[in-house]
Amino acid sequence: MARNPRIAFIGAGSTVFMKNIVGDVLQRPALSGATIALMDINPQRLEESAIVVNKLIATLGVKAKAETYSDQRKALSGADFVVVAFQIGGYEPCTVTDFEVPKKYGLRQTIADTLGVGGIMRGLRTVPHLWKICEDMLAVCPEAIMLQYVNPMAINTWAIAEKYPKIKQVGLCHSVQGTAMELAHDLDLPYEEIRYRSAGINHMAFYLKFEHRQPDGTYRDLYPDLVRAYREGRAPKPGWNPRCPNKVRYEMLTRLGYFVTESSEHFAEYTPYFIKDGRPDLIEKYGIPLDEYPKRCIEQIERWKGQAEAYRSADRIEVEQSREYASSIMNSVWTGEPSVIYGNVRNNGCITSLPFDCAAEVPCLVDASGIQPTYIGELPPQLTALIRTNINVQELTVRALMSENREHIYHAAMMDPHTAAELDLDQIWSLVDDLLAAHGDWLPAWARGRRKSAAA
C-alpha cells in the first residue's frame, strides 16, 4: 500500500493562510490522506488551527489526519514537505518598531517587510530561525522540500542557500499570478486567455511577455493596451483595497516598458522616486499608502477575533482553491505530474545579468525530480539596473548574517534606494543604532544594542 505524504507546517498559528494551503492540499486526490503536522509556539493559535484542519478533513470527507506539536524537531520528523509561515516579533512589538523609529528621522514606509530599514531588520530577526529549521530538517527529514512563505523572501532564500546549500527549498509568493489576474481585469480579459513570462527577484520581477490568445491561436502583445488604458484613465481599476490605487506600477511601466509583479504600495518603497519628505504632491498624485502594513495588521487582528469564533462554532468549513503554489508543487513531486510555478531559488545563472548567488524569481518546472528552475538569460538593461539596487541591500544583509559583522547592517541601510534618498550618512547610522537597540532580544546577540561611537 502506497504511503501518504507527511506535511509539516511550521508557524501553523497563521491560521487563515494555513487553512488555504491545507484546503488546497486536501482537494488533491494523491495528497488527501496526508498527515498534517502543525507546529506553533502559541498554544491558543495552534489549537485554533487544529480545529480548522480537522473540520476541513470532515467537510471534505478525506482520510487525512492532523497532529499538533510545540516541539519543532518532532513536528519535522519524517516530513516530505515543510511549509514555513511565521513572523518573528509579530505586529507588536517588532512591526511597530520598524515603522515608528524611522518616522523620527522623517523616513516613511508603506509595507517595510522586504527592503529598506524595515526589511533589513525583519531579515535579521527571521533568518536565524529559518536556519534552525534547516538544522532540524537535516537531522530528521533531510530529503524534504521547504516551501518558504516568509518575508523578506529574497534575503531568506539567499541566506538559506548560503549556509545550508543541501536544503531543498523554494520561496513562494503569489504576486506573479495575482498581478496577472489584476492586469487581465484592468483590460476586461479572461485570465485564462492570458500568457505571460516573468523573471527577476521576489517583489521586483517583471513580465517579459504579457500576451492575449487570439481566436486563431496566435498571441497579441498587451503592453500597448496597458499603457493606453493608463494614459486614458481606464486603468488601474479599483481593487480590493481603496487605500492602494496601484498607480505607481503603471507609471513605472511607462518609464521602463515592463510591468512589475508586486504591488504599487511595495514598489513605492523599493525605489527613490515616490516617497519624499516635503513632497505631499507625490503621495497624493500616486496614491501612496503610507503606514499601510500596520493598518492591515490592526484590521487583521480585529477580523480574526470574529473569524476564530466562527471557525470554532462551525460544523463545516467550506473550501475554495487558493492561488498559492504549495499544493501544486507537492502534487507534482508526489505523483510526477508536471506543473510550472514561479519560485525563488538560488540564481545559479538562470538570469545571466544578475549575480550568480542571489535569490532569483523564475519559472520552475516541478515533477518527481523536484523543483527545476528554467533559464532566462539576460534581462533588459534598465530592469537589471533597477533590480541590482535591491540586490545590493539583500547581499549586504546576508553578509552581515553570515559573518556576524554589524558593519554590514549599516552598509545595507546605506545602499537602500529609499533610505539613501531621504537621509544623510549620520542619520542612517543613528537610525540603524536606534533600531538595533529597540529590537533587542528579537535580534541575534551579535547585532543587538548600539555601537560605542559613530566611528567605532
Strand-strand pairing, 35-39 and 6-10: parallel
Q: Which of 174, 185, 212, 418 is catalytic?
A: 174
Task: Say if residues 169 and 143 touch (Cβ distance below 8 Å).
Answer: no
Long-range contacts of 432-435 (CB under 8 A, 24+ apart): 432/117, 434/101, 434/104, 435/97, 435/98, 435/101, 435/102, 435/117, 435/121
Measured CA to CA, the distance from residue 24 to residue 326 in angstroms comes to 8
Residue the block writes with cell 507609471: 251
Q: Classify each residue of 4-38 as buried b or exposed e, where b means 16 or more C-beta atoms within 10 Å of its C-beta.
A: bbbbbbbbbbbbebbbbbbbbbbbbebbbebbbbb
Q: Classify each residue of 137-162 as buried b or exposed e, where b means 16 or more C-beta atoms within 10 Å of its C-beta.
A: beebbeebbbbbbbbbbbbbbbbbbb
Measured CA to CA, the distance from residue 57 to residue 34 in angstroms comes to 10
Angle (CA) 250 252 257, round 5°: 95
Backbone angles phi, psi at 82, to 5 degrees: -125, 110
| Helix, strand, coil percent values for the chain (each to nearest 5) | 50, 15, 35
**What nine digits make up the cell of 5?**
505524504
Measured CA to CA, the distance from residue 325 to residue 24 in angstroms comes to 9
Q: Is 266 annotated in the active site?
A: no
Element (H, E) at 339: strand 339-346
Could you list the active site residues? 174
